[in-house]
Amino acid sequence: MLKWQIGKVKITQMVELTTASLGPYLLPQATPEALGRLPWIRPFVDEQGRIVLSIHSLILESEGRLLMVDTCIGNDKERTYPRWNRMQTGFLDSLATAGFRPEAFDTVLCTHMHVDHVGWNTRLVDGVWQPTFENARYLYAEDEWAHWCNEPQEYGPVIEDSVQPIFDAGLADLVRPDHRVTDEVWLEPTPGHTPGHVSIHIASEGEEAVITGDMIHHPCQIAHADWSSSADWNQDLSHETRAAFLKRYADRPVLIIGTHFAAPTAGHIVRDGDTYRLSC
């Protein structure tokens, strides 16, 4: 469990799982041979040179409020990916051990509506999907919801079991992609991976951080902005968004926290010749 402090904002990482199995599908360009030419990438690959991805939530404490960014995969969900089908993890127990009770959260921010970002929005109670964070407002970008209302789903009934019940419970808010949550936390539009994808910007007492969402899946995309994910809705747009993001934040004291970056998970973007790297 990693923690960071950005001014007055406390950030806590809660990991559901880490995996090296998704890399060949998500980023087929990221072969061990290609990654071997990036000496700084070693903390983010395994012994075979395969990319390692972390699936985690990020908890923000801002202005007396408790916010969760993305809710991982979840338990008991029917999924087409075998390792995630009816998965059982101790995610909620880990939350409780860290001092975070589900009922204490007042806001859930979903960077987008993919399977590994909305799973713990709900939990199975007596055969019915109920909101996990019963006192929270769940914020979704308007364009993201409009997209998934009609888009086929690859991994199973994600919208039906992890998003629609939030609307049915009256806890969902559709917001603009630059919505301000607190004076210290706001959404930053980063479309491409999905139409309404957002990152999360944090600024407090002169310090800044950005939570990437899936605009960047793995640090190797910092060196190779053109390596778009196979899961991207629009690969050209995701490349354009990522390249603009890297240019905007390079060589600035802005902590970049990767939504899927394995430990150490966060660092600063620095120029590296004609491209960039992550300095941790």
Q: What is the domain partition of the chain in residue ranges?
A: 3-279
Q: How far apart are CA 188 and CA 212, in angstroms?
A: 9
Q: How far apart are CA 210 and CA 186, in angstroms?
A: 10
Give exposure, 213-223, as e/b (b: 16+ Cβ within 10 Å): bbbbbbbbbbb
| Beta-bridge partners for 204 | 207
Would you state the pLDDT for residue 62?
Answer: 98
CA dihedral 125, 127, 129, 131 (to 10 degrees): -10
Is residue 43 reached through a cis peptide bond, with omega within 30 degrees of 0 on the bond before it?
no
Would you state the pLDDT for residue 105?
Answer: 98
Residue-by-residue DSSP string for the chain: --EEEETTEEEEEEEEEEESSSHHHH-TT--HHHHTT-GGGGGGB-TTS-B-EEEEEEEEEETTEEEEE---S-SS---SSGGGTT----HHHHHHHTT--GGG--EEE-S--SHHHHGGGEEEETTEEEESSTTPEEEEEHHHHHHHTT---SSSSHHHHHTHHHHHTT-EEEE-TT-EEETTEEEEE-TTSSTT-EEEEEEETTEEEEE-GGGSSSTHHHH-TT---TT-S-HHHHHHHHHHHHHHHTTSSEEEE-SSBPTT-EEEEEEETTEEEEE-
Q: Nearest-CA neighbor of 256 among 231, 229, 221? A: 221
Backbone angles phi, psi at 238, to 5 degrees: -65, -40
Q: How far apart are CA 105 and CA 123, in angstroms?
A: 15
Would you state the pLDDT for residue 34?
Answer: 97
Would you state the pLDDT for residue 56?
Answer: 98
Would you state the pLDDT for residue 23?
Answer: 87
Topology (CATH level 3) of domain 3-279: Metallo-beta-lactamase; Chain A (3.60.15)
| Beta-bridge partners for 18 | 54
Question: Which residue is listed with tokens 């310090």?
Answer: 207
For residue 57, give the amino acid letter: S
CB 23 within 8 A of CB 51: yes
Successive 10-residue mean pLDDT values, the chain, 280 residues: 97 97 93 96 96 98 98 98 96 97 98 98 98 98 95 93 98 98 98 98 98 98 98 98 98 98 98 97
Would you state the pLDDT for residue 151?
Answer: 85
CA dihedral 50, 238, 66, 44 (to 10 degrees): 20
Q: What distance lies between CA 243 and its chain's CA centroid?
A: 18
How many residues belong to the chain? Answer: 280
